[in-house]
Chains A and B, each alone.
Chain A
């Protein structure tokens, strides 16, 4: 019975320090590996292939020493999306997907073929796999590591674009992302504080029912102060940054040094091999 606690069931975006192999890995290697694993998920249309991928997900969760219950709990908010997606696919694909596929069921204009069933199952599996992998990724990667890794990986592109745009793309993008992430909990807490203050003054937050119009109208008194809050914080931050002699990237050196040992790059190599195997294996069904 807690109407105002937002952050409880969201596993994406949290960091859970368990000190596992995944936590210690160089974030650049981890990003590369994650991208390759996601690619494998995207390009595997078979039942057996997805079964392999689900098992892989469990292995990855175990590697990150994330409690299984907690990682799977992150799937709960995703269930409605998966369900809606499945219903839409069942209703509207019909014969259009693969006209040669045998028909399993027909009722009026609703046609369900073997290919559609496969699509539904595989889409649901993919969704689950993606949520699990991204959860493990964020649970094992600090936001600073993430932004530094992005900055580092973007540096070659920056060098290419330098003559055209004359901005320090990698640095500025990384700073923007860092500050945005840094203020997410602050904004959430402020929204929670405002809702509680307004509820205390008789505003009808929470309670039962889905009165959509009433709820939307109530957003207004929440959004106005939240907006001024964000602007005020932004202004204060600018002044504080200026006071600390920030003049926009030029001549800066970075404090953080990414760990990067050669062993870390085994992970993306393994992921690449995995991707190759998944693409080339002729799964029977």
Chain B
């Protein structure tokens, strides 16, 4: 057996907050990473994943226990530099790792510290940028790149130091599906070149690609094994707030109905094979592609009379009138009807964020029309305050915008602007907090920084709800949360919509989320609505979605694969639950 690259032996670490008792983050963690191995570390928010990662290259040093990197003890400062050359690290936020104002110079920043010759330095920068596929963009300023590209630059910056291991600390959690796919390809390329990878992630399907998974919970290793072994323990994972990859979860549902159905399936291929081998040959032959995944019907053009928000042929140009002008919207038309949930999907840069800023009058139409309620936002005398009260917008990562130290004060910011009486103000804040599932008495006097990620997100949403809007626009409401908090928040959103009769506009990269929640879906591409319609119809056209750079839900893909083989499976399955019922019935019939 080869010598392990990194060994952690029962390490412990606590944070000492002022005037509070120490928080024990790591409670005796032992693990090892072999050369060339891909290890995924998963765990709920606050389980100590990032703290553990920072021990791997001596950014933190264990208070008890030992970490050795190629035999070097991280507690010895003489080794620090050698350790950081051996184990590179990529962080969550792409734009706070970038030092220079040009891509290639940023990549050179690490090796510049190593005292190489200039030729060697150039070779390394080139090799690193080629590995991540960014050589062509070497002379560009990083702030003009997409988040996925920035993250690839950050990885190149680490690779240029020729590390034996790269640690990715939630490096994909802020990226869109395309950015995640890019990083996935880079990870595969790094492995091919023999670099070991430790990836910390909230995405179970990403962890499924690793050789080994380590599950961390409350500072201890709960499960360790191959993805198949780990994901076979669904109950334990659920108990600690984690999830299964969608395919594995579907397989588990089938296993519950069909005894002997294999558990721990990881890919769509495996699932399709397992189902076909048990269902026997299909009654009809394979179908033509068009039948398996029916094309999306043309976008609806007609407006209903009672639409809450109507957008007609809306155009928007950033920095207009300068050489930096950039067209973001090119004639967008859509409407939002009372009480429904409208999903808006599209790649980064397709115009989603620009569009939602028109919905509450942050941007005002110069070309095209936006009507909210019965107010035309193009008119000069519009009461913007009234519009913003009617349409509440929660931007991405709303917890970054909390500015009052106490949760209750922050939620009260909106209603306070309305000049309500103290009584009313209190009632509003109470209602808003309870609506998102934070108890008013328990949380109003808590310091914002003591809340968990999921709680903080809810508090931020409560701040928008406190205006009592009729329409709620949510931009990526669950991104960056662990699976447990994500499911919980989704439940709250659904509940809120049903109970309060709220109209919802949901902008998300998470296709599964949009499929689950939305009544209707509009797909944006390069500033145009390329298609819109009932969620079921839009998601059934998987080839079209893939061509637009969007990843259709895995349940839909699996069912369509079976359908194309000739099995009587509908093409427009949306959720895992639905797929479980349909495939279960198919298999029972066969046996």
**Which A positions have Cβ atoms within 8 angstroms of B?**
1-2, 4-5, 7-9, 14-16, 67, 70, 73, 142-144, 175, 178-179, 181-182, 185-186, 193-194, 196-204, 206-207, 221-222, 224-225, 229, 233, 236-237, 239-247, 251-257
Contacts and interface: CB of A to CB of B under 8 A. Distances in A.
Contacts of B415: 202
A252 B113 contact: yes
Contacts of A178: 99-101
Given A1-B364, A197-B395, 5 more contacts: A196-B362, A197-B401, A239-B54, A247-B113, A251-B113
B366 A1 contact: yes
Contact of B161 (A73, A196, A245, A252): A245
Contact of A196 (B95, B99, B395): B395
A224 B115 CA distance: 41
B115 A251 contact: yes
A4 to B, nearest CB: 7
A247 B81 contact: yes
Nearest to A16: B323
Contacts of B320: 8
Given A70-B323, A244-B113, A251-B115, A221 B413 contact: yes
B281 to A, nearest CB: 56
Given A196-B395, A202-B389, A245-B84, A236 B93 contact: yes
A280 to B, nearest CB: 39
Contacts of B98: 182
B518 interface: no
Interface residues of B, number: 73
A182 to B, nearest CB: 5
A237 B92 CA distance: 12
A2 B364 CA distance: 7
Interface in B125-140: 125
B118 interface: yes
B388 A199 contact: yes
Given A182-B99, A237-B97, A200 B323 contact: no
Given A197-B398, A201-B413, A202-B417, A144 B105 contact: yes
Contacts of A207: 384
B417 A204 contact: yes
B366 A245 contact: no
Nearest to A240: B97
Contacts, number: 169
A39 B395 CA distance: 49
Given A194-B401, A203-B413, A229-B400, A142 B102 contact: yes
B332 interface: no
A52 to B, nearest CB: 28
B110 A244 contact: yes
Given A204-B385, A244-B157, A253 B112 contact: yes
28 contacts: A1-B364, A8-B320, A16-B323, A73-B321, A175-B99, A186-B95, A193-B395, A194-B401, A197-B395, A200-B362, A201-B414, A201-B467, A202-B389, A202-B413, A202-B415, A204-B417, A221-B403, A222-B403, A225-B402, A236-B91, A240-B96, A241-B109, A246-B109, A253-B112, A253-B115, A253-B121, A255-B104, A255-B122
A248 to B, nearest CB: 9
B318 interface: yes
B63 interface: no
A225 B401 contact: yes
A241 B99 contact: yes
B149 to A, nearest CB: 16
Interface in B385-427: 385, 388-389, 392-395, 398, 400-404, 413-415, 417-418
Contact of A186 (B125, B143, B324): B143
Contacts of A206: 384
A175 B99 CA distance: 9
Contact of A202 (B57, B96, B388, B402): B388
A73 B320 CA distance: 13
A270 to B, nearest CB: 27
A46 to B, nearest CB: 35
Interface string B355-380: 00100101110100000000000000
Nearest to A255: B108
B464 interface: yes
A200 B388 contact: yes
B59 interface: yes
Nearest to B357: A196
Contacts of B464: 200-201
B150 to A, nearest CB: 11
Given A196-B362, A207-B384, A201 B101 contact: no
B360 A224 contact: no
A248 B583 CA distance: 61
B100 A8 contact: no
A251 B81 CA distance: 13
A252 B116 CA distance: 9
Nearest to A256: B105
B372 to A, nearest CB: 13
Given A186-B143, A193-B401, A246-B109, A253 B324 contact: no
